[in-house]
Structure formats: C-alpha cells, structure tokens
Amino acid sequence: MSTVATNEKIPNNVNLAGDRRLQRALEQWQPSFLRWWREMGPEGFQTADVYLRTAVSADAAGWAHFDYVKMPDYRWGIFLADPVLDRRIGFGDEMGKPVWPEVPGEHRNALRRLIVTQGDTEPASVEQQRHLGKTCPSLYDLRNLFQVNVEEGRHLWAMVYLLHTYFGRDGREEAEALLTRRSGDPDNPRILGAFNAPMEHWLSFYMFTYFTDRDGKYQLLALSESAFDPLSRTTRFMLTEEAHHMFVGETGLSRIVQRTAEVMRQSPDKDPRACGVIDLPTMQKYMNFWYSISLDLFGGEISSNAASYFATGLKGRAHEERYADHVALEGTCSIDVVKDGRLVEEAIPVRNAMNEVLRDTYIEDSQRGVDKFNGVLEAHGVDFRFDLPSKRFHRQVGVCAGHHFTPQGAPISEPEWLRRRDEWLPSPADDAFVHSLMRGAVVEPGKIANFIAAPKRGIKGRPVEFEYVRFD
Ligand SMILES: [Fe+2]
Ligand SMILES: [Fe+2]
C-alpha cells in the first residue's frame, strides 16, 4: 500500500517529499497551472463554494472525499494506482518480460508524444467548457460540470508528473506548453481536432461527455496496458474519475430525451420546439457531430505508428486480457478504403489496424447508451429512434477524410454533401435554437430548466434539491 501525503502543497502517493528536485519542479509549475486555471477555467464561478469530490488517496476507501471547496483551492494531487507485483508486458514483441520502471532511451520520443497528446486533451476540455456555467440547467448540473473540470485539471497534473519525472528538461518544456496552447486558437490550437470544437451549450456538453470522454476512456485503457509502468499506473487511476464524466454525459442526454418524450406525449400535435424542448432530429444531428469527431480521435485506420506502439509495448488494446492472441502477428482486419470514388475492402495486418480495433470497441460501448435513450423513447410511446451514423460519416482523419458519405455510409458527391449537410449536422440555426433554451443560469436549489428532466437522485446521498453550489 502506498503512503499518501495529503497535507503537502501537492497531495500525492508518489513520495514527492523524497525527491526534492522533482518536488521543486512541480511546485514551480503549480503557479503557472493556477494562473491558467484562473484565466481559462470556469468563468464567473471561481469564488463559489462547490460540493466536490476530491481524491485524497488512490485506494478504494479514500479516493472520493466530498466537501465544499472553492475551485482554485481544489487539491489537485498526483495519484498512481498501486503497483501490480511482478507485472509483465502483456502484448507485442516484448510480451512476458518485466515492465519498465523507467523510460527506455529508444522509446523516449514516442512515449513523450503519447503522454503529451493525452495530456493536451485535459486542459483543452476545461477551456471548451469554461462558459457553460452561465447557462446551467440546475445547481446539480452546475456542480457536475465543475466536478468534470477539476478532474480534467487533475488529469493534466497526472501527465505533467510523468513529464517532469521521466523526461527531464524536454518534459518540463512540454509541461509549460500544455498551459500555453488554447482550445480553438487558430495560431496555437490544442493538438487534437475535437478539442478545438466550440462547445456553446449544454446539449454539446452532454454529447461531449458521452462521446468524447468515452474516447478518453479507451485511450486510457490502451495506455494502462503500457509496458512503461508509471504510465500504466497513472492511467489506471484516471479511469476511476473518467467513469463519472461519462455518467454525466449519459444521464444528461437521457434526461433531455426523457423531457422531450414527455412533452411529445402530452402535446402530440405540437412542434416540440414550440414547447421549449429539443426536438429529437436536432439531437440526432448533435449526436452525428460529436460522435464523428470523436471517432477521428482514434487516428487513421491503417497506421504504422499504431503498429509500432503495439510491437514495442507502448500502447496495447483496451482490456488486452480479453484477446486470445497478444502478439497479433497473424491475421488481418478488413477495412473499407475509397478507390476511384468506390468503397473497396482491404485486408490489413492486425497490428497496422490497432486504431481501428480500439475504435470498434469504442463504437460497441457507445451503442449501449444509445440503446438506453431509445428505451426511454419506447417507454414513452414515441416512435423516433436514434442511430449512430456509419463510421465513414463526416470523418476528417483516416481513409474517409476528403470523401463524403451519408449517415448510412453511402458515398456521395461534394455538391450533394453541401446540399444536404444541414440535414445531418447542426446548422447555425440549430445552434441558435438550442442556445435560445439556455438563456441564463438556473441556480435556485431544486429548480430545473424546462428542456431537461430532473435527475433521478442527487450526489453522494444528498437530495436533488441540495445546494450543490453556494454563492457568496
Ligand atoms: Fe481526463
Ligand atoms: Fe474526462
């Protein structure tokens, strides 16, 4: 069991006090982080008391401690899951050898790139979400937004810890750069596409936490298989927090679906929009958007980088233990590529298709929640059903980038795409409509905006109408 130092400046279970040099480096980075948080964190709520969960240790009993805290005083700590005794590499060419406690020189650049790319998404999402507090549908939702935000801040800490500890001066420079890129900034954007997309309202927030945080889950699962043991332990602990983010997305969407379905049942002849709720075809468009840009995050279908990450043990598959063959040198994956405007199936060696393998497990997991939303519609006697679009639809990365497809996956010409785009993806008018339902913040305890149903239960045994955020 690791010792936990919670009373220090930086709570941790990595014995920071025993490594003065590292402690000093992180303590120097801390003010930059706080400056970034005040500048780019939740706007207008920095002095509010928020009922938040704070990780105070990495074991099952102690990692979720609930209390009121002002966000800038949140105790962003560094926690690694406990080490697995005699852990061995579980896949690739080095399968069966002991895992690495340090970074092997030959993998230094690739590992740093993986860590920086993951780390960059964490502050990016905080930046994307920073205006949402001003239009929150309830105090309960406001608190959940802030919970997600502070934990993404902690995930940044987790990655910065790795950079500072194992990558020397390069690592410290990367840690600084993580605080200087800005989501959506044309001159200095965040690394990955989805993390530069504007997030202007709560429908997009729930879509993001359902679809994009789920990409995070699968990336973390794949990295938790890594032969670089500190990365594995860091990401394993991050996954415990990530589960809550996806819960926020799934229940948020489910509550919007429920509210719309209730209104449709009460007033079957009326346009749901006229009743102040989000109509289902509009929700489907936002689903198409956030799902497709989240699919891009897994990278190209055919990737020599992915093959080498797998071969060298840097990045495995999600739940590697569920596969029979951990070497994956035999067999192929069939992938549709576009040739002369037509789809042609190609057999790709499995290692080169690792991004696609991870994407497919993600798709299966994404479908599960969509089935639940459809269950809500069915229970209300509403005929509409949501569908995840084809994985070819609206892709900017991989073999489909530069080509156009319908949500069902049929290839279409560019003029047809341009003509029909607004049937399938949110238009500026859709954005304006959804925005019109979220004019101000609903901050009276127990009150809830009209477009969303109340949550089934509150947080940590508290009632739904509990004062989750207090203002001075
Ligand atoms: Fe995260
Ligand atoms: Fe997350």
146-168 pLDDT, tens per residue?
999 999 999 999 999 999 999 99
> In this predicted model, what pLDDT tens digit does every residue of 201-210 receive, in sequence order?
999 999 999 9
| CA of 223, nearest ligand number | 1
Expressed in angstroms and rounded, the spacing between residue 373 Cα and the centre of ligand 1 is: 24
Position 148, amino acid: V
> In this predicted model, what pLDDT tens digit does every residue of 221-255 receive, in sequence order?
999 999 999 999 999 999 989 999 999 999 999 99
C-alpha count within 13 angstroms, C-beta hemisphere, residue 358: 34
C-alpha to C-alpha distance for 369 and 209, rounded to whole angstroms = 12
Token look-up 């049942």 returns 265
pLDDT of 326 strictly over 70: yes
> Percentage of the chain with pLDDT > 90?
92
pTM of the model: 0.96
Collapse the DSSP code of 224 into the 3-class scheme (helix H, G, I; strand E, B; otherwise coil) and give the result: helix
pLDDT of 61 strictly over 70: no
Q: List the beta bridge partners of residue 412.
A: 404
Expressed in angstroms and rounded, the spacing between residue 331 Cα and the centre of ligand 1 is: 34
Position 262, amino acid: E
C-alpha distance from residue 101 to each of 19, 127, 210, 312, 331 (Å): 16, 33, 34, 15, 32
Expressed in angstroms and rounded, the spacing between residue 258 Cα and the centre of ligand 1 is: 28
| CA of 144, nearest ligand number | 2
Q: For residue 341, what pLDDT is reported?
A: 78
Q: For residue 178, what pLDDT is reported?
A: 98
C-alpha to C-alpha distance for 342 and 266, rounded to whole angstroms = 47
- C-alpha torsion 307→310→315→320, nearest 10: 120
Expressed in angstroms and rounded, the spacing between residue 220 Cα and the centre of ligand 1 is: 9
Expressed in angstroms and rounded, the spacing between residue 53 Cα and the centre of ligand 1 is: 15
Q: For residue 4, what pLDDT is reported?
A: 58
Q: For residue 7, what pLDDT is reported?
A: 61
Expressed in angstroms and rounded, the spacing between residue 123 Cα and the centre of ligand 1 is: 9
The 10 Å CB-count burial string (b at 16+, else e) for 426-456 is beeebbebbeebbeebbbeeeebbebbbbbe
Least confident interval from 53-57, 190-194, 384-388, 398-402: 53-57
| CA of 159, nearest ligand number | 1
Q: For residue 339, what pLDDT is reported?
A: 87
Residue 64: pLDDT band (50, 70, 90) is: confident
Quote the tokens at residue 156.
Answer: 């940044």
What value does the mean pLDDT of the chain take? 95
- C-alpha torsion 183→232→326→292, nearest 10: -20
pLDDT of 374 strictly over 50: yes
Expressed in angstroms and rounded, the spacing between residue 214 Cα and the centre of ligand 2 is: 8
C-alpha to C-alpha distance for 399 and 306, rounded to whole angstroms = 15
Collapse the DSSP code of 371 into the 3-class scheme (helix H, G, I; strand E, B; otherwise coil) and give the result: helix
Query: Which residue in 308, 307, 314, 19 sits closest to 165, CA to CA?
Result: 19
The runs of H, that is alpha helices, within 184-274 are 202-207, 213-224, 229-266
φ and ψ at residue 9, rounded to 5 degrees: -55, -45
C-alpha to C-alpha distance for 373 and 258, rounded to whole angstroms = 8
Expressed in angstroms and rounded, the spacing between residue 216 Cα and the centre of ligand 1 is: 6
Expressed in angstroms and rounded, the spacing between residue 146 Cα and the centre of ligand 1 is: 13
| CA of 244, nearest ligand number | 2
- When pLDDT is averaged across residues 45-54 and rounded to a whole number, the result is 95
Least confident interval from 1-5, 219-223, 409-413: 1-5
> In this predicted model, what pLDDT tens digit does every residue of 269-280 receive, in sequence order?
999 999 999 999
Q: List the beta bridge partners of residue 51.
A: 68
370 contact partners, CB below 8 Å, separation of at least 6: 287, 386, 387, 388
Expressed in angstroms and rounded, the spacing between residue 132 Cα and the centre of ligand 2 is: 16
| CA of 121, nearest ligand number | 1
- When pLDDT is averaged across residues 454-459 and rounded to a whole number, the result is 96
Q: For residue 342, what pLDDT is reported?
A: 86
The answer to whether residues 48 and 40 touch, using CB atoms and an 8 Å cutoff, is no
Expressed in angstroms and rounded, the spacing between residue 88 Cα and the centre of ligand 1 is: 26
The 10 Å CB-count burial string (b at 16+, else e) for 242-270 is bebbbebbbbbbbbbbbbbbbbbeeeeee
pLDDT of 1 strictly over 50: no
Expressed in angstroms and rounded, the spacing between residue 128 Cα and the centre of ligand 2 is: 12
Expressed in angstroms and rounded, the spacing between residue 149 Cα and the centre of ligand 2 is: 8
Expressed in angstroms and rounded, the spacing between residue 91 Cα and the centre of ligand 1 is: 25
